[in-house]
């Protein structure tokens, strides 16, 4: 980067900083109380804003220049490199021992860390599976489902209600939850799947909101805003566990489910149906013209994602033993979307990384917890602008050709 360019960026950043400070001045600096008729001035905020925006703007302009350069290069060359992190992790000499080590750590985790930590990790793992589920719908098939949380709610309420009314246990309801998820996936999917990308997004958003509002208002069915409590934790053949035992049990159940989901997703990605989904995502018209029934393929992706979400709903209800409609807002859908987007649409490793980053960092950086959602939002914008393929670019399988048998 030449000196002239750096100077130019400094100037741009200065302009941006002044503009942004002016723009945010009233909101950041002034606090009014119309009842007491007082006005509070917080000039320090202006200083933070000016300084912070200058630095951020400078980084922005520099990164924009690099982005434009690399885009111009891409038109000429065909080199595509993964992020350093992804390359590091996929190096085969490293990948195996790393995975083995990771697995050992995962298995041993509850014995070395506190109950609290284990609970946090269980939450993160739930989001891993939710992310992988949405990854099938959005990442593989390209269906932007903004109401994904509705299926999560379906699973949770299925368990909560069946447990509350009929005392059915976790293991009995788990498959039922999956079935409910698939059913609702087909039910909600069928009317909307012929819609185009952004319309589909909004309709699914609408559906998600409707489900939540119905749960909130249909008190006689769902017990309204106060929710359902005293949901049973998972047991084993009727043995009820203490809180510590149940948490550990839950952890291993989740670990198993995560591994199962990873396995299923990896198998699907490079299969006949996985390729059909990718074709669907890239070009619906060509996909249909090549003999693929778009509607059926969409329905399958949509309801598979729904099934996974519903499964996690059952787990969530069993873990927190209390659910209410407030856990199933649009923000949840947006967070899961952020995980998939950040991690890399279509990439299993990416989604796992994304889930851990977005779920665990806020826990361990408590100082910033207030800013968590703000950072979520900013992350989504930044990833889309600078690295839309996410942390880990989804890669296609490299086929080894059996030269003797082929033409």
When asked if residue 278 is in the footprint of other proteins (CB under 8 A), the reply is: yes
Shortest Cβ 314–other proteins spacing (Å): 20
Shortest Cβ 304–other proteins spacing (Å): 7
Q: Which residues contact 85 (CB under 8 A, 6 or more apart)?
A: 353, 391, 392
* Residue pointed to by tokens 């000196």: 3
When asked if residue 256 is in the footprint of other proteins (CB under 8 A), the reply is: no
**Residue 273 near residue 285, CB atoms below 8 Å:** no
Residue of 5, 117, 271, 369 interacting with other proteins (CB under 8 A) = 271
Alpha-carbon distances, residue 310 vs 78, 118, 228, 267 (angstroms): 41, 22, 17, 21
When asked if residue 105 is in the footprint of other proteins (CB under 8 A), the reply is: no
Residue of 293, 326, 361, 365 interacting with other proteins (CB under 8 A) = 293
Shortest Cβ 360–other proteins spacing (Å): 19
**Residue 147 near residue 333, CB atoms below 8 Å:** yes
Residue of 334, 351, 358, 359 interacting with other proteins (CB under 8 A) = 334
When asked if residue 367 is in the footprint of other proteins (CB under 8 A), the reply is: no
Q: Hey, is 272 helix, strand or coil? A: helix
Residues 32 and 38: their CA atoms lie apart, in Å, by: 6
Shortest Cβ 232–other proteins spacing (Å): 30
Please work out the total of residues on this chain that contact other proteins, with binding judged by CB under 8 A: 96
Shortest Cβ 375–other proteins spacing (Å): 9
Alpha-carbon distances, residue 346 vs 85, 349, 380, 390 (angstroms): 17, 9, 16, 10
Residue of 51, 175, 206, 256 interacting with other proteins (CB under 8 A) = 206
When asked if residue 133 is in the footprint of other proteins (CB under 8 A), the reply is: no
Shortest Cβ 130–other proteins spacing (Å): 17
* H/E segment holding residue 221: helix 219-222
If you count them, how many residues does the chain have?
407
Residue of 11, 66, 87, 267 interacting with other proteins (CB under 8 A) = 267
Residues 138 and 324: their CA atoms lie apart, in Å, by: 27
Main-chain phi, psi angles of 240, to 5 degrees: -95, 140
Residues 349 and 316: their CA atoms lie apart, in Å, by: 23
Residue of 175, 226, 282, 369 interacting with other proteins (CB under 8 A) = 282
When asked if residue 45 is in the footprint of other proteins (CB under 8 A), the reply is: yes
Residue of 122, 144, 149, 336 interacting with other proteins (CB under 8 A) = 144
Alpha-carbon distances, residue 60 vs 356, 378, 398 (angstroms): 26, 12, 36
Determine the interface stretch with other proteins among 1-9, 119-127, 233-241, 365-373 (rule: CB under 8 A): 365-373
Residues 259 and 338: their CA atoms lie apart, in Å, by: 22
Residue of 242, 289, 366, 367 interacting with other proteins (CB under 8 A) = 289
- Under rule CB under 8 A, which residues in 297-316 are in contact with other proteins? 300, 304
When asked if residue 338 is in the footprint of other proteins (CB under 8 A), the reply is: yes
Q: Which residues contact 289 (CB under 8 A, 6 or more apart)?
A: none
Residues 335 and 331: their CA atoms lie apart, in Å, by: 6
Binding mask 72-101 for other proteins (x = CB under 8 A): ------x-x---------------------
Determine the interface stretch with other proteins among 82-90, 97-105, 266-274, 308-316 (rule: CB under 8 A): 266-274
Residues 261 and 129: their CA atoms lie apart, in Å, by: 7
When asked if residue 46 is in the footprint of other proteins (CB under 8 A), the reply is: no
- Under rule CB under 8 A, which residues in 177-196 are in contact with other proteins? 191-192, 195
Residue of 85, 95, 240, 290 interacting with other proteins (CB under 8 A) = 290
Residue of 5, 26, 55, 240 interacting with other proteins (CB under 8 A) = 26
Q: What is the DSSP code string of 17-46?
A: HHHHHHHHHHHHHEEEETTTTEEEE-HHHH
Residue of 1, 15, 39, 47 interacting with other proteins (CB under 8 A) = 39
Determine the interface stretch with other proteins among 82-90, 164-172, 289-297, 353-361 (rule: CB under 8 A): 289-297
């Amino acid at each position: 980067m030449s000196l002239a360019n750096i100077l130019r960026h400094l100037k741009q950043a200065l302009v941006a900083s002044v503009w942004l400070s002016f723009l945010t001045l009233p909101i950041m600096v002034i606090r009014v109380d119309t009842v007491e008729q007082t006005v509070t001035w917080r000039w320090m905020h202006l200083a933070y804003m000016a300084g912070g925006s200058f630095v951020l703007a400078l980084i922005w302009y520099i990164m924009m220049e690099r982005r434009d350069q690399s885009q111009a290069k891409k038109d000429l060359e065909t080199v595509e490199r993964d992020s350093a992190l992804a390359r590091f992790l996929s190096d085969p000499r490293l990948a195996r021992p790393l995975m083995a080590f990771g697995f050992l750590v995962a298995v041993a985790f509850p014995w070395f860390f506190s109950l609290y930590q284990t609970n946090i990790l269980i939450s993160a793992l739930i989001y891993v599976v939710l992310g992988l589920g949405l990854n099938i719908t959005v990442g593989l098939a390209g269906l932007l489902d903004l109401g994904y949380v509705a299926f999560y709610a379906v699973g949770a309420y299925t368990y909560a209600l069946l447990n509350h009314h009929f005392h059915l246990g976790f293991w009995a309801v788990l498959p039922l939850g999956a079935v409910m998820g698939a059913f609702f996936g087909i039910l909600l999917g069928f009317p909307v799947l012929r819609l185009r990308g952004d319309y589909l997004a909004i309709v699914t958003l609408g559906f998600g909101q409707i489900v939540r509002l119905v749960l909130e208002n249909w008190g006689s069915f769902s017990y309204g805003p106060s929710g359902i409590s005293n949901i049973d934790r998972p047991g084993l053949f009727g043995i009820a566990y203490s809180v510590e035992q149940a948490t550990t049990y839950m952890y291993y159940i989740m670990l198993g489910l995560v591994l199962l989901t990873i396995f299923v997703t990896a198998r699907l990605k490079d299969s006949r149906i996985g390729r059909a989904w990718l074709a669907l995502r890239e070009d619906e018209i060509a996909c249909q013209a090549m003999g693929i029934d778009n509607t059926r393929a969409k329905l399958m992706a949509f309801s598979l994602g729904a099934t996974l979400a519903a499964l996690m709903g059952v787990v969530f209800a069993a873990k927190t033993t209390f659910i209410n409609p407030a856990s199933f807002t649009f923000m949840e859908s947006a967070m899961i979307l952020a995980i998939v987007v950040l991690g890399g649409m279509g990439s299993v490793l990416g989604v796992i990384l994304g889930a851990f980053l977005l779920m665990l960092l806020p826990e361990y950086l408590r100082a910033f917890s207030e800013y968590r959602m703000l950072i979520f939002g900013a992350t989504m914008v930044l990833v889309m602008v600078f690295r839309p393929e996410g942390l880990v670019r989804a890669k296609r399988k490299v086929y080894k050709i059996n030269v003797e048998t082929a033409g």
